[in-house]
Amino acid sequence: MALCRGAGLLLRTLLPGNPLLFPAVCRAQSSVSGVLVPRTSLTSPPWPEQLPPVCEAEDARRQAAVVSTVNGSIERQDYGRLFAVVHFASRQWKVTGEDLILIENHLEAGCGETIRLEKVLLVGAEDFTLVGRPLLGRDLVRVEATVIEKTESWPKVHMRFWKRHRYQRKMIIVQPQTVLRINSIELAPRLS
Amino acid sequence: MVFLSLSCWIRSRGPDRYWKVQDIVKNAKHFRGRKNRCYKLAVKAVRRAFVYATKGRRLKKRYMRTLWISRIAAASREHGMKYPVLMHNLTKSSVQLNRRVISDLAITEPRSFLSLAKVARARQQEGFRAALGDGKEPVGVFSRVVLLQ
């Protein structure tokens, strides 16, 4: 974005920095001198020439600091409202406390029974997010839901028609549905 | 005079024509023009409507996925990344969130989306580092590329 702005400004005023950093021509090969080639999108590879250096000690220190902060706020329970991404009924749902989910199939649980949704992919609060790879541990998060309603969908019409061939088929599809209310999402302080 | 065959000429033409007609016409009540009242026109219109609804249910899934992808692309460009880079690096880091959830996070949880973008960026840097290496040839290989540099 900064590059586009710089290129646009060059038409009006002369910016000292840009022509020196990104010259319009470059050498074809470093071994052959005097052969200049215009700079295109394929002049240099798309990865950066110099990668930022890796300092493992500093990375480890930063990670330990982050983990201890997050662990502390989990232990003190001062995170506010939690949201979780849960894999259930072959779909992923972004879920908070007190919200309703409509599942388009039949569950074995009866109405009023509590269910624990185990496959949690991500949990987030205001100040931190826990991203599972791909799932978070079962002893780290607990998502509980109640089955509120078990009903059927409205009758959907599946119609096939082939014109000028006297072919039409009409089928009415009624699918069982379940409504779940998410009761709570709880975190346990156990990060490393 | 007694007309005995008069009663034989009265036919019972089917008692439920009204309901058969209403079954079709009630699906066309919100249409425009005579096709919301007249059976012959309503039959054609209702048949088209049902067929379009059936086809539309399959297309809706494709459109929604395209929408999610364009939303994720826009959000990742706000953080200086492109959509294919983000998704590929998230898959390589074994984060199995689908496009619907990632687009929802980009809309309602911008900080979580930023953390996902950072995860992808870190994995990308790791990949570059592993591919580029230190610029040295493996042990026992002698080539003029390294010599001339």
Model confidence pLDDT, tens digit, residues B100-135: 999 999 999 999 999 999 999 999 999 998 888 776
Task: Report the gap between the CA of A174 and the closest CA in chain B (Å).
Answer: 14
A181 close to A100: Cβ distance less than 8 angstroms: yes
Mark yes or no for CB contact B105/A94 under 8 Å: yes
Q: What is the mean pLDDT of residues A12-24?
A: 62
pLDDT score of B92: 96
A100 Cβ contact partners less than 8 Å away, ≥ 6 residues apart: A148, A179, A180, A181, A182
Locate the chain A residue with the closest alpha carbon to B50: A159
Mark yes or no for CB contact B50/A157 under 8 Å: yes
pLDDT band at residue B147 using 50, 70 and 90 as cut-offs: low
Interface TM-score (ipTM) > 0.95: no
pLDDT score of A147: 97
Q: What is the pTM of this model?
A: 0.83
Contacts of B134 in chain A (CB under 8 A): none
CA distance A152 to A174: 6
Cα A104 → chain centroid: 24
Q: Which of A90, A82, A192 is nearest to A144 (CA)?
A: A82
pLDDT score of A12: 45
Q: What angle do CA A140, A142, A148 make, to 5 degrees?
A: 170
CA distance A112 to B137: 67
Of A12-16, A32-36, B71-75, the range with the highest mean pLDDT is: B71-75
- Lowest-confidence segment of A1-10, B99-108, B136-145 by average pLDDT: A1-10
CA distance B97 to B115: 13
Instruction: Name the residue facing A51 among B57, B96, B125 (closest C-beta).
Output: B125
Does residue A74 sit in helix, strand or coil? helix
Locate the chain B residue with the closest alpha carbon to A168: B47
Interface test with B, best of A49, A128, A133, A163 (most B CBs within 10 A): A133
Respond yes or no on whether the N-terminal peptide bond of residue A38 is cis (omega within 30° of 0): no
CA distance B63 to B60: 5
Task: Report the gap between the CA of B9 and the closest CA in chain A (Å).
Answer: 35
C-alpha pair distances (Å), B141 with each of A71, A151, B18, B144: 49, 71, 91, 10
> pLDDT of A114-140, one tens digit each?
999 999 999 999 999 999 999 999 999
Provide the pairing of β-strand A83-88 with A129-131.
unpaired
Task: Report the gap between the CA of A22 and the closest CA in chain B (Å).
Answer: 20
CA distance B88 to B93: 9
pLDDT score of B1: 85
B41 close to B35: Cβ distance less than 8 angstroms: yes
